[in-house]
């Protein structure tokens, strides 16, 4: 197994963890059809279908596939796009950014560093302090309130 460093919010430290690697067929069995299509096949959801608009409490948005901490609710903002948007990840260790040339565009894709799950894309039109808009697929995330961490 390959190990990587990620930031663990509950422990408030950087930890070494094993990468999560599974064949597509196994991911397909473990998730809903929509979650599988988005996270494993680089799909997207319809705007407004899983926006987490009603989440206003303190907590962490985690990867739906492996549970890696991705975004604090305090960095979530209303972008008007119909997708959950954040201006900063929990740690740059927890996400991977790579060029995406699909659909005739050049964008920056965001993946979970631990399992490679497709999360969405990041753009340079977000609010201060980072100016970034991590435009994520809601079906790629799960929210855990702070009291349950």
* 25-61 confidence digits (pLDDT tens): 999 999 999 999 999 999 999 999 987 888 889 999 9
Give the pTM.
0.95
- E strands, 1-149, where? 3-8, 13-18, 59-63, 69-72, 76-77, 85-86, 95-100, 107-112, 118-123, 133-136, 141-145
Averaged pLDDT of the chain: 95
CA distances from 135 to 24, 27, 83, 141 (A): 24, 23, 6, 12
pLDDT range class, residue 112, cuts 50, 70, 90: very high
Question: Any bridge partners for residue 14, and if so which?
Answer: 7
Q: Catalytic one among 63, 66, 112, 135? A: 135
Distance in angstroms (rounded) separating the CA atoms of residues 21 and 111: 14
Catalytic-residue membership of 112: no
* Structural domains for the chain: 3-148 (2.170.150.20)
Distance in angstroms (rounded) separating the CA atoms of residues 36 and 17: 23
């Amino acid at each position: 197994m390959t190990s990587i460093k990620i930031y663990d919010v509950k422990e408030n430290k950087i930890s070494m963890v094993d990468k999560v690697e599974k064949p597509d067929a196994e991911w397909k069995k473990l998730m809903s059809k929509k979650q599988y299509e988005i996270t494993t096949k680089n799909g997207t959801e319809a705007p407004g279908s899983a926006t987490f608009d009603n989440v206003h409490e303190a907590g962490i948005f985690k990867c739906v596939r492996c549970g890696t901490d991705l975004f604090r609710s305090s960095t979530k903002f209303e972008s008007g796009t119909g997708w959950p948007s954040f201006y900063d990840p929990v740690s740059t260790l927890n996400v991977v950014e790579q060029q995406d040339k699909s659909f005739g565009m050049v964008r920056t894709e965001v993946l979970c560093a631990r399992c490679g799950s497709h999360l969405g894309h990041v753009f340079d039109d977000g609010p201060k302090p980072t100016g970034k808009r991590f435009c994520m697929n809601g079906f790629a995330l799960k929210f855990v309130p702070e009291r349950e961490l």
